[in-house]
């Protein structure tokens, strides 16, 4: 089974999903990332989905799970690069990805991760307010 590479940049992990994922691959990525967060003491996780042509409820759940697990492990997850047609479809499907932070591209995603790591209180205030 093809694996999705996880790159380490400083204290962040970067994943760029370039293949049409079957469900087992999505589950494997979730497990691999969780282990790498701990092994690499990562503070941020960025998931680039700009190559994904669809996000269905299974992939959406995977993104939600990764965000929730990384939060428990004191890391921040940001999903970047969602295509407009995917965003429109996700909302109609009923999947808001409410637990997942998003940014338009990799640059903005890294800046967001940095801001949240450096100033966690502002993020809590933003999310709860």
* Phi/psi of residue 80, nearest 5 degrees: -125, 155
**Any contact of residue 93 with another protein (CB under 8 A)?**
yes
Please report whether residue 94 would count as binding another protein according to CB under 8 A: yes
89 binds another protein (CB under 8 A): yes
Q: Which of 22, 41, 115, 126 binds another protein (CB under 8 A)?
A: 22
User: In this structure, are strands 12-16 and 101-103 parallel, antiparallel, or unpaired?
Assistant: unpaired
Binding flag, residue 86, another protein (CB under 8 A): yes
d(CA 19, CA 12): 22
Find the shortest distance in angstroms from Cβ 38 to another protein. 24
Binding site for another protein (CB under 8 A): 20-24, 53-58, 60-61, 83-86, 88-89, 92-95
């Amino acid at each position: 089974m093809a694996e999705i590479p996880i790159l380490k940049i400083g204290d962040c992990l970067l994943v760029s999903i370039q293949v049409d994922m079957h469900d087992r691959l999505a589950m494997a990525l979730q497990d691999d990332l969780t282990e790498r967060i701990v092994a690499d003491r990562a503070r941020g996780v960025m998931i680039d989905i700009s190559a994904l042509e669809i996000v269905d409820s299974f992939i959406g759940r995977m993104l939600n799970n990764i965000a929730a697990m990384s939060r428990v492990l004191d890391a921040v997850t940001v999903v970047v690069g969602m295509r407009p047609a995917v965003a429109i479809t996700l909302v109609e499907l009923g999947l808001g990805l409410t637990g997942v932070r998003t940014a338009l591209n990799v640059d903005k995603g890294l800046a967001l991760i940095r801001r949240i790591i450096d100033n966690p209180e502002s993020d809590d205030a933003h999310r709860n307010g």
